[in-house]
Amino acid sequence: MRLDEFKHSRWTAEDGVPLGIYALAQTPDGFLWTGSDSGLHRFDGVRFEMVPAPANGARVGDPVSALMAARNGELWIGYQSGRIAVLRDGKLIDRSTPASDRWVHYFMEDQRGAVWTVIGNTNHPLMRYSAGRWETIGESWGLERPFAWGIAESRDGRIWVSDRARMLVLEPGERRFRDSGIARAKDEDEVLATDRSGQVWESGPFGTRRLPALPLAVRDTAPYPAIAPPPDDSLRYYLFDRHDAIWAVTWSAGLMRIARPHDLYRGKQPVHEFFSAKDGLTSDRALSVLEDREGNIWVGTSAGLDRFTPANIRSTAGVAPYSSYGYILMAARDGTVYAADSDSLYSISPQGTTTRLLTDLRNPQAICEDATGTIWFATSDAFYRGTGGRFDGIPVDKRRNFLDCAATPDGRLWFNRARGGLTRYENGEWIESLPDGPDGPLKVTTLISHGDGLLAHVRSQGLVYMDLPDTKVLWKKDDIPGKEITLLRPVGDDVLVGTTGGMARLRNGAITLLQRNDPWLQGVVGMADDRQGHTWLLSRAGIARVSRDALLRSFDEPGTALPAQRFDFDDGLRAPAVTAYSKNSAAEGGDGVLRFLTTDAIVQVQPDRLVRNGLPPPVRITGLAFGSQRLPDPVSATLPAGASRIEIDYTALSLTIPSRVRFRYQLAGVDEDWIDAGNRRQAFYTNLAPGDYTFRVVAANNDGVWNPQGASVDFTVPPTFLQSMWFKALVIAAFALALWLLYVLRLRYETTRLRDRFEAQIAERNRIARDLHDTLLQGMQGMLLSFQALASRLPPDAPLRQQMERVLDRTQDTIREGRDRIHLLRDPEASTMDLAESLGRHAQELAAEHQLLCDITVPLPPRPLQSIVYEELRQIGREAITNACLHSRGTRVDIHLAYRDTGVVLTVRDDGVGIPEERMGVERHWGLTGMRERASLIGATFTISGLPGGGTEVKVGIGANEAYRKR
């Protein structure tokens, strides 16, 4: 791969990159670290972030001169001041040594884990850190010179050091360097590096060579085979990449690359390639170089940072870029690809070799192949016929400007002219073949051979089939999406038609539109098939690769999945497609390489050698922000109470094409499913409730390889006082208190209302009592005296007189009871008989008359009752006792009266036949309605139910506030 086949990207101060990048490193977490005049920064492919932590007095922004990522994940940092620090788990740990007070040049970690460093102090040129302490590598180690520049380790564990006079080697397990006997230039700085096989190379004024194996078979003396040095002997540092190519930074010549340095030992002189500021490098003063885990090469310069990525789209070798009049391209049936720029015609053989066939041309315009394999080629002032790779000129009578050409099966050649119309070349003659339209010559933008004639796009008419002089419009201009045809490509008996608004298929004279709106299907100007079953499309959106079968099937089955892999400027496409001409701008050669026309070059893709990034990207959560605070690299966090709006920053360390990295994230308990964030590297949440949360994020690299493990952070949002359980408990308590107060107020209201009702009832009773006393009782008393007078006239032993005296006695009792009732109505508290005594007397009278046993129980001492309650309970009890004695047909009646703190409960039970279930709710029997009404009047509960085994129970209960007198 040539250096110009890499995709070059650059970052300068305008992009936030630090200047003067002396060191580069990549830690296992994927971050790229830069050590510069501005200090230590890390880069995720999108953002540069300064590391804020100090170490041993090192200030933020202290210039850094050396970096090394150790195998254990630590980052070793050397400062220009001579300080040394280690970054571990986000914290800087001081590893400085008093012996180091000047520039730290670089670090090297050997196979045993010891760290070697070359420093700028001439008294301590080389030092070693092992077992937690520094050791000066001086005379006791066999290092006699006060300066060491190059250091490297070979695969066998040997440590190689150049001290400007000798090439020293330290054998594994030893503690003293010895002279290797390898010759070297006197008092010259040499740079050492290890290739992929573990062999050490040296570079100096003599050039670059591989160190001979030890022990030396013959004496090593100059001159010896070496790769020529760069100009002005400016090599500063170099490395071998994964393909064993050398990448070197120079003091003043930019970047140097040697693709095959091992050719030196195969009898060939390796070729140098240079990339400098005139090619786009940020500066010719290149300072550092690094290969990352994905194979990208990074170069730090005095003015910025550069990246070189193996590109899938590359310029075609041998064809110059930036042609003044553009390019034309055609693939012949024998696998040869013909291409032309502004002044030359090239052939690219099926083996991939580019040959210039014609030069000094004037604006090449059209090229096509007839049925015999003859190639016809036209420029603005010449016409050629090519056979067997040789092109002969054909005389022309005048200049003609063509756009394209096509050969029909009958051997005739057809050319569409730039000014409009068609010209036919036949038997050495040019014949104008297409009649003019109403507005002059018809503009034919593209044409192909189809059937026995031509298929062409006539701008004013649409898609036209021509068997001249006959023509037929197959697709009207107004029906064409975008009204312009950009491509006609035969596929078997069909023709795929590209338009500015999409794609269509011509089959048997009928047009079928492809029902898709993908950007890469609009304005397609080039189409070619590879040998792996894919179709490649060139359009304004770049280059897309799709399944050939899926593409063809999608015309008849619109729901067919049609995933596309996109290739654009990030893949090496340096210029857009040519859209001014409607010709196929893609061709497949016999070498399997696909070539495409762009405005600036002919580019190519090798479908069987696509560079694919197969490494899942490491995912990191880089920040958790809330309010004005931000936590860097959080693992877990407790946020301030009430922090309901948060911002989470995350990244994925895929440095090849960071813009194509895709993310999905989920906040457990908030997001029901994963959120597709595209390439956005932030998540925002608002109105978070107090609680524990876990945020997870996963990512895919530029080629869609996902890291399903991703990264996560746990955080807690504490509640504010208003959100706390204490506050909620207080709210519940306040609510309960409010309910209780409402209950008390309601109770007082109801009590007052009942008292008012009682007083109204008492007033009404007084009125009724007066009326009864003044009318009914006085009348009855008069009647009683009259009957007594009549009875006294009868003989004492007369039966009638005895009967009348019994009636008069009963009437006297009734009058007495009525008088007592009237007295009670006027003065309820005047009754001295308690409720149990009143009910017991009534029960005993009825029980004796009906031969029943009667028992009354009062378990607790009686308490004074409200007069209305007393009276209504007495009437309910009397009615219940009367019903039990008259209708139960039982043998006993039990009366239970309980004075409780919660209220009064009166229960009357019998052991009779009970009330039939079907008549339990019929309230016109046995005074049930009256009892319910009396209970309701005083706010009491009333129930009547049957007992197991027979009998009936009547229960009435009333609360303490309503039942008892207030003290």
Q: What is the mean pLDDT of residues 14-28?
A: 94
Instruction: Give the CA distances from residue 150 to residues 504, 573, 828, in Å, rounded to whole numbers and listed in that order.
Output: 65, 40, 123
Contact predicate 41/52, CB 8 Å: no
- Say yes or no to pLDDT of 825 above 60: no
Q: Which two three-digit tokens encode residue 803?
A: 């009967």
What is the per-residue pLDDT across 633-669, written as a single tens digit (0 to 9) for each?
A: 998 999 888 787 899 999 999 999 999 999 999 999 8
Q: Which two three-digit tokens encode residue 937?
A: 């009047």
Q: How far apart are CA 380 and CA 366, in angstroms?
A: 9
- By the 10 Å C-beta count (0-12 exposed, 13-18 middle, 19+ buried), 748 is classed as exposed
User: How much of the chain exceeds pLDDT 70, in percent?
Assistant: 93
Instruction: Give the CA distances from residue 540 to residues 313, 517, 526, 536, 711, in Å, rounded to whole numbers and listed in that order.
Output: 16, 14, 10, 13, 37
Q: Which two three-digit tokens encode residue 405?
A: 């050409």
Q: What is the mean pLDDT of residues 29-43?
A: 94
Per-residue three-class SS string for 712-781: EEEEEECCCHHHCHHHHHHHHHHHHHHHHHHHHHHHHHHHHHHHHHHHHHHHHHHHHHHHHHHHHHHHHH
Write the single-letter amino acid at 155.
Answer: R
User: What is the chain's mean pLDDT, rounded?
Assistant: 88
What is the per-residue pLDDT across 417-432, written as a single tens digit (0 to 9) for each?
A: 888 889 999 888 888 8
Contact predicate 219/212, CB 8 Å: no
What is the per-residue pLDDT across 776-805, written as a single tens digit (0 to 9) for each?
A: 766 777 777 777 777 777 888 888 877 877
Write the single-letter amino acid at 496.
Answer: L
Residue that is written with structure tokens 């054909």 in the block: 394
Contacts of 341 (CB under 8 A, 6+ apart): 319, 320, 323, 325, 326, 327, 364
- Say yes or no to pLDDT of 580 above 80: no
pLDDT for the residue 830: 42
What is the per-residue pLDDT across 879-936, written as a single tens digit (0 to 9) for each?
A: 888 888 888 888 889 999 999 989 999 999 998 888 776 655 554 455 788 888 889 8
Greater pLDDT, 327 or 580: 327
What is the per-residue pLDDT across 732-760, written as a single tens digit (0 to 9) for each?
A: 999 999 999 999 898 888 878 877 776 77
Lowest mean pLDDT segment, chosen from 309-313, 605-609, 623-627, 846-850? 846-850
- Provide the b/e sequence for 233-244 (b: ≥16 CB within 10 Å): bbbbbbbbbeee
What is the per-residue pLDDT across 666-710, written as a single tens digit (0 to 9) for each?
A: 999 899 999 999 999 999 999 888 889 999 999 999 999 999 999
Q: What is the mean pLDDT of residues 215-236?
A: 76
Q: Which two three-digit tokens encode residue 834?
A: 């308690």
How many helices (H) and strands (E) would you count in the chain?
Answer: 8, 69
pLDDT for the residue 919: 57
If pLDDT is split at 50, 70 and 90, which confidence band does 623 have?
Answer: very high
Strand partners, 378: 366, 383
